[in-house]
Structure 1
Amino acid sequence: MSDDAYRELRSDPHLGDVVEEHGPLSLDPADDPFERLVVSIVNQQLSTTAAATIRDRLLDRVEVTPEGILAADESVLRDCGLSNQKVGYVRNVADAFQDGLSAESLQAMDDDEVVAALTEIRGVGDWTAKMFLISVLAREDVFPVEDLGIRRGMEHVFGFERDAVSRGEMRERAERWAPYRSYASHYLWRSVD
């Protein structure tokens, strides 16, 4: 995290206390973008505990590469805890990576292009694409309003009533944190952990 990012977010009247409490954070690119994208799909619409259990089973039983996912029997993927729908989704991602999508090609794109490229894959939505931008490509200015943790963090730091803030208002409030909204997102998540 740059000194400028830390200083700016720490001086924010709403987020500053959380920044002060947790100190500087870093965004680190993922070593294995394909695996991280598969894990993001596993995590969709699940509790943290359930997602971790399924992820651990998957990593233990299947080689999480495009070739490994495509070679794995569907029953093995389901036995790991993936629904039929998610089996299809992770296979769609494997197909896309075998067809030429790569960390290098995605890294060369701007944020909107990455979201467009990823959301062309059936099973990858805006939330997953934005998580990829933050946790895989380490982009500094992404704000995933689709994320429940971000919503809860916004409620916490701004004092909103539960579920009373719209995505539009969240985006508007987060403008103050540009160009460091990915860091702000991490602080919001930490504010409710």
Structure 2
Amino acid sequence: MRHAFPAAANLADVGEEAIRELGFSRQKARAIQQLAVHVVDTSVDLERLEGLNNDQAVAALSRVHGIGRWSAEYVLLRGLGRLDTFPGDDVGAQNNLQRLFHLAGKPTYDRIQQLTSPWRPYEGLVYFHLLLDKLRANGAL
């Protein structure tokens, strides 16, 4: 079987520098490596996360040093397929919503929750659509 991402066991033993070579910042590389360690030692149980509601899952993931709300919500959306999640701390998503709604400034996290609520439970699909639209507009697709 092929995987789009390496297994946690493979990342747990990789040094931060190897992860940085893939284009991640030092902080993000450390967070990726530490999360992998916690998954391997089962202090973060991915199967248990699936049974938690979104707020509980975000709280559980945020206990890992370097994992904040944005990272945790992205795990819910991308890793657990929770399409009802819109990572509102994502600066690119803030810019995309600002452009979409013709806002004077970047929306706050709470404002993003209000703006995306009509799309519930598919906010995550809109997140990816906006991302892909921006990539297309920039010629990356």
**TM-score in terms of structure 1 length:** 0.57
Q: Partners of 1:80 and 1:148 in 2: how far apart?
A: 21
Contact 2:12 2:40 in 1 (8 A): no
Contact 1:74 1:87 in 2 (8 A): yes
Q: Partners of 1:137 and 1:74 in 2: how far apart?
A: 25
Q: Could you say which residue in structure 2 is the equivalent of 1:137?
A: 80
Q: Could you say which residue in structure 1 is the equivalent of 2:138?
A: none
Q: Could you say which residue in structure 2 is the equivalent of 1:90?
A: 32
Q: Partners of 1:127 and 1:109 in 2: how far apart?
A: 17
Q: Could you say which residue in structure 2 is the equivalent of 1:165?
A: 107
| Runs (5+) with no aligned partner, structure 2 | 136-141
Q: Partners of 2:93 and 2:22 in 1: how far apart?
A: 28
2:124 is aligned, of 167, 182, 186, to: 182
Q: Could you say which residue in structure 1 is the equivalent of 2:66?
A: 123
Q: Partners of 1:78 and 1:168 in 2: how far apart?
A: 32
Q: Partners of 2:12 and 2:106 in 1: how far apart?
A: 43
Amino acid across the alignment from 1:135:
R
Task: Tell me how far 1:73 sits from its aligned partner.
Answer: 4.7
Task: Supply the RMSD in Å over aligned alpha carbons.
Answer: 2.5
Say whether 1:152 aligns with 2:95: yes
Contact 1:156 1:191 in 2 (8 A): no
Contact 1:145 1:170 in 2 (8 A): yes
Q: Could you say which residue in structure 1 is the equivalent of 2:139?
A: none
Say whether 1:99 aligns with 2:41: yes
| Runs (5+) with no aligned partner, structure 1 | 1-30, 36-63
Amino acid across the alignment from 1:126:
R
**TM-score in terms of structure 2 length:** 0.75
Task: Tell me how far 1:151 sits from its aligned partner.
Answer: 1.2
Contact 1:149 1:192 in 2 (8 A): no
Identical-residue share of aligned pairs (%): 24
Q: Partners of 2:112 and 2:11 in 1: how far apart?
A: 37
Task: Tell me how far 1:84 sits from its aligned partner.
Answer: 4.6
Task: Tell me how far 1:103 sits from its aligned partner.
Answer: 3.2
Contact 2:12 2:33 in 1 (8 A): yes
Q: Partners of 2:91 and 2:109 in 1: how far apart?
A: 11
Contact 1:156 1:192 in 2 (8 A): no
Relative contact order (alpha carbons < 8 A, sep ≥ 6): 1 or 2 greater? 1
- String of CA shifts for 1:92-151, please: whole Å, max 9, x gaps: 112211221343222122211211111111111111111111111111211211112221
- String of CA shifts for 1:23-59, please: whole Å, max 9, x gaps: xxxxxxxx56xx4xxxxxxxxxxxxxxxxxxxxxxxx
Amino acid across the alignment from 1:167:
Y
How do 1:45-56 residues align onto structure 2 when only pairs under 5 Å count? Answer: none
Greater CA radius of gyration, 1 or 2? 1
SS in 1 for 2:52: coil
